[in-house]
Structures are given as structure tokens and as C-alpha cells.
Amino acid sequence: MKLLKTIKKIFEKNDSNSIENIEEFMLENNFGVEFAENFIEKIREERVTDKNIEETLKESIKNILDNTDPKIHFANSIPAVFLFVGTNGTGKTTSIAKLAHLYKNQGKKVMLVAGDTFRAAASKQLEIWATKLNIPIVMQKEGSDPGAVVFDGLNSAVSKNIDILLIDSAGRVETKKNLLKELQKIERVIEKKIGRKPDETLLVLDAYTGQNGLAQIEIFSSMVNISGIILTKIDGSSSGGIIIPIVQKYGIPVKFICTGENIEDIEQFNTEAFIKMLSG
């Protein structure tokens, strides 16, 4: 249920149900029980009147989200290197295609690296996008070392004066330590080649995700230098509200949101727009 409906319900009743309704709203949107309880304590302590609960919540959310910087980092030298990581099936490969399209339209020279050498036809999937967008891609056969593909990609990008290099990686759940270590290795390969960590290491998070989202961020960011989140599938029936406790706890900004399966369905994150979306 979107916030607006909840709030309307609150106004219609305008009684002690408001707190219950706002709690349900927070829980339903995966803000988590801890966040919900803290917020309710806050409005009780501050004696927020029923009428102002909505504004207070919006303000809290705004404060949390505005506390991080959603700017995209580009180094002074090219290529800018973006690495995409995350759990399985969240939308990494598709997000890369979308960003490639976005930057290409801005006149940038973009190249892709098919760093997922594990999943069946993962490279093929990225290759189809590259062909559609008419941009170069570096890939190797299934089962090869992802570090080696990334190394190839970096070399190729440097020699071809590529502006932005977008590196895909295989999906992995946060419980698989060895697979997370593989990401560290990719990070090291990049660092060795360009003398710095990837300009952006973006964790791709599915908007349907529940409380596990917190573990995803905590564990991935303990292994590699996560600089931002791409929140996908917010065109679905879940709002992606899990980012609220995530951003609050880990201070990692959401940089992009994805709103569908088509190539243009990506936007830079904007707090106001997100709150509006939440509010329905």
C-alpha cells in the first residue's frame, strides 16, 4: 500500500489508529521493525500530532537519504571504470546495458566487459546488448577466470581511448565467502592497472528485497569498496523501502534507480522523486 492511501486512511479516521497505520506502512515497505519502532518512539517523545506524522516521516526519510552523496565519480583520467556487483538476478547485466546507452547518448565512448564467466549464457546476454547498442565488448569463453577478462578489458579500453568501462560480474549470494573473495581479486586487478579502485563499485539491489538487503550491503561492502547502490525493479509492486534502513545504517548512497526492462528505464536517484513514489 502506498503512503498516500495510508495517510488518507489516517486522516479519515484521525484517531489513535494513526500510529498503527504509519507502523504498518513502514513495515509493509520493508523499513524493518527496528526503524519502525524507533520512529514511533520518536513521534511519541516529540509528541507529534496525528496530523503531522506524515510530514515527520517524510522528513526523517529525506534526512536519511540526503545525508549521502549520489554524485557519480569520474576520475580525471580515462577510462572511468565501473564495477557492478550483487546477488543473483538483481539486474546487474541489464543495468549495465542501460547505463551504456545513457552514456553513449551523452557522447561518451563506452565499452563493456563480460565479467560473468560463470552463469550459462551470461556473456551472450551482455553481448546481445552490446550489439544492439553498437558498442564494443570484451569477453572470453564460459568458465574462464573473471580476473583475466577484466584485465583484457582494461587493456583494450586504454588502447582504444574508452571513456567509460562497465564491468559485469556474476551474481553471488552474500554467504559465499570464496565468491566474494573473487570480487576482491577483480578489484585488485583493476587497482593494479589504473592505479586506483574502480571509480564506482555499484551494488545492484532488487527493490523486492526484504531484511536480507541489510546483510547484502554489510557483507559486500566489507569485502569490496561499494560506492553506491542501483535500486532495480521499482516498477514492480515493492517500493524498495529497504534502502531506508540501509542508507541510514551504512551511509551508502543510492545512485540510480531502474524502472523497467527497457534500455531507457534508468534514472539518477533523486530523494524527492523517491519519496513521492513511496507516497504513491
Residues at the site binding other proteins, with contacts judged by CB under 8 A: 24, 27-30, 32-34, 87-91, 118-122, 124-125, 127-129, 142, 171, 173-177, 206, 208-213, 215, 218-219, 222, 233, 235-238, 242, 261
Task: Sort strands 266-268 and 254-258 into parallel, antiparallel or unpaired.
Answer: antiparallel
- Choose the one of other proteins, Mg ion, ligand GTP, none that binds residue 265, judging by a C-beta under 5 to 8 angstroms depending on kind: ligand GTP
| Residue 165, amino acid | L
Residues in the chain: 280
93 near Mg ion, rule: CB under 5 A: yes
Name the grid cell of 10.
489516517
Nearer to ligand GTP, 173 or 223 (CB): 173
- Choose the one of Mg ion, ligand GTP, other proteins, none that binds residue 258, judging by a C-beta under 5 to 8 angstroms depending on kind: ligand GTP
Name the grid cell of 243.
534502502
Name the grid cell of 159.
588502447
Q: Least separation, in Å, of the C-beta of 222 and other proteins?
A: 5
Q: Which of 147, 250, 229 is nearest to 191 (CA)?
A: 147
Task: Sort strands 110-113 and 200-206 into parallel, antiparallel or unpaired.
Answer: unpaired
Residue closest to Mg ion, measured at CB: 93
Q: Least separation, in Å, of the C-beta of 12 and other proteins?
A: 20
Nearer to ligand GTP, 116 or 199 (CB): 116
Alpha-carbon span 79 to 112, nearest angstrom: 12
Q: Which of 216, 207, 232, 206 is nearest to 183 (CA)?
A: 216
Q: Least separation, in Å, of the C-beta of 107 and ligand GTP?
A: 25
Angle (deg, nearest 10), helices 271-279 and 53-66 = 150
Q: Least separation, in Å, of the C-beta of 167 and other proteins?
A: 18
Nearer to other proteins, 79 or 169 (CB): 169
Residues that bind Mg ion (CB under 5 A): 92-93
